[in-house]
């Protein structure tokens, strides 16, 4: 577990969260633990995705006869870039999301350069804006995945960008509940937000656990959030942000993570997690950590 000091390249976000004495707990987890959810049903394997062989056989863009698809060109043209523009990263990530069928319905859409504002309009606190390279939205406009360009950042120093992921997730939580209310659905009390921090073209996986007690009371000092983090377990982790998915062995590992991560990209609410349930009912009864109901 890492206790994060709020220093980030987005100074406005850092000032806002620091002014609220905001506490951010980032847990860097092993792969098996990271992909474990609160719902056994969600942990059942989803239908597998068949990755085109070209991605698993060729380290770089293949030459010779034959036309590449748009997704194949986007992947090979940018894969391995340590620095990549927002436009190039949007193309690259869009190709990955299409490859792994992240859009659960034809009504889902990818929004390029999505902007999120924290706090929501109408608050007395000055707003700060955050830009996401890409946001995946479901049929009613809820954000189901956030992608950020973190080129040049070091995953071991997540303090340089993780507060932005958290702030954008809180803003998206508000935005999602507005979208739900607009179509007559009940606002969510909790959202397990999946985020991708793209360090060049090397993804770092995050789950930002947002609950309404934090999102609705940002003016209350001392608020905190838990963030779960996974750096793909490639053989040479020290070179991951440089090599990314260029080595085929790295690529297979990251592709496996992308396939498992897809289950969190959903418009079906996750079960209220034990840590938030315990906080919500503290003072009413003690939650037994060994009770199967909350395992």
pLDDT tens, 22-43? 778 889 999 999 998 766 545 5
Structure tokens at 188: 């969510």
Average pLDDT over residues 230-249: 93
pLDDT band at 295 (very low <50, low <70, confident <90, very high): very low
Beta-bridged to residue 155, according to DSSP, are none
Structure tokens at 290: 């060994």
Beta carbons within 8 Å of 246's beta carbon, 6+ residues apart: 59, 60, 79, 80
Rounded to the nearest 5°, which phi and psi values hold at 152? 90, -5
- Total structural domains within the chain: 1
Start-to-end Cα distance in the chain: 20
* Domain assignment of residue 72, given as a range: 2-294
How open is the CA angle 60-247-265, to the nearest 5 degrees?
95
pLDDT of residue 111: 93
Prediction pTM value: 0.82
Question: Lowest mean pLDDT: which of 56-65, 101-110, 125-134, 222-231?
Answer: 125-134
pLDDT of residue 167: 86
**Burial class of residue 235 in the structure, from the number of CB atoms within 10 Å of its CB (0-12 exposed, 13-18 middle, 19+ buried):** exposed
């Amino acid at each position: 577990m890492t206790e994060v000091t709020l220093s980030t390249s987005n100074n406005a976000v850092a000032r806002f969260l620091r002014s609220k004495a905001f506490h951010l707990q980032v847990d860097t987890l092993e792969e098996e633990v990271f992909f474990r959810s609160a719902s056994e049903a969600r942990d059942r394997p989803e239908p597998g995705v068949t990755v085109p062989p070209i991605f698993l056989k060729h380290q770089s863009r293949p030459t010779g006869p034959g036309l590449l698809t748009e997704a194949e060109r986007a992947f090979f043209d940018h894969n391995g870039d340590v620095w990549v523009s927002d436009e190039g990263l949007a193309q690259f990530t869009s190709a990955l999301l299409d490859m792994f069928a992240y859009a659960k319905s034809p009504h889902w859409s990818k929004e390029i350069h999505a902007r999120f504002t924290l706090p929501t309009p109408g608050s007395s606190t000055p707003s700060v804006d955050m830009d996401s390279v890409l946001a995946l939205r479901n049929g009613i406009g809820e954000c189901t995945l956030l992608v950020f360009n973190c080129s040049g950042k070091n995953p071991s120093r997540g303090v340089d960008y993780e507060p932005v992921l958290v702030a954008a997730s809180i803003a998206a939580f508000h935005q999602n509940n507005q979208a739900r209310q607009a179509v007559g659905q009940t606002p969510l009390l909790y959202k397990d937000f999946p985020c991708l921090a793209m360090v060049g073209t090397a993804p770092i996986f995050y789950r930002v656990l947002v609950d309404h007690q934090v999102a609705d009371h940002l003016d209350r000092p001392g608020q905190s959030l838990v963030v779960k983090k996974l750096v793909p377990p490639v053989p040479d982790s020290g070179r991951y942000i440089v090599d990314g998915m260029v080595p085929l062995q790295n690529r297979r590992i990251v592709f496996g993570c992308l396939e498992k991560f897809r289950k969190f990209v959903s418009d079906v609410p996750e079960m209220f997690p034990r840590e938030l349930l315990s906080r919500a009912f503290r003072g009413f009864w003690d939650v037994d950590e060994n009770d199967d109901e909350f395992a």
